Amino acid sequence: MAYLVAFVADPARDEHADALRELARGLPGAGFFDDPDGGLPRTVGTYARVETLADGLARALLRHVGELSGRLRVRIEVQYEERILGHLVAGEPDDALATALSGRG
C-alpha cells in the first residue's frame, strides 16, 4: 500500500480547498489536507492509500481530481509513493503523468 496524493500546484485558494474537501467527502477512502495558516504557498490536496495506480480508488480519485482541475482551470501535481508522476493541467494529464498512468513510466 502507498499513498496517491494530488494537490494544487498553482497558488491555492479557498475555492480549491472547498472543492477538494467536497471531493474527498464524496469518495470513500479519500482524505483531504489543507494548511491555510502554514504560510505561503498554501498546500491543499487530497489523498488515498491504494495498492496500485490501477486500483479502483486510485482511478476514481484521479478522475475526480481531473474533472476538478478542468472545472477550476487549476494545475494539480500528482504523486505516488512520494514520487512526482506529473500534473493535471486544466483537466488533462501532462506527458509525464500520461506515461506514468499508462504503465510505461
Identify the band that residue 41 occupies on the pLDDT scale cut at 50, 70 and 90.
confident
pLDDT confidence of residue 103: 77
Element at 49 (helix H, strand E): strand 44-50
- Bridge partners of 33? 45
- Is the pLDDT confidence value at 104 over 80? no
pLDDT confidence of residue 59: 95
What's the mean pLDDT when you consider all of the chain?
93
Q: What are the sequence ranges of the domains in the chain?
A: 2-102
Distance between the two ends of the chain, CA-based, in angstroms?
A: 19
* Percent residues over pLDDT 70 in the chain: 94
- The class (CATH top level) of 2-102 is alpha beta
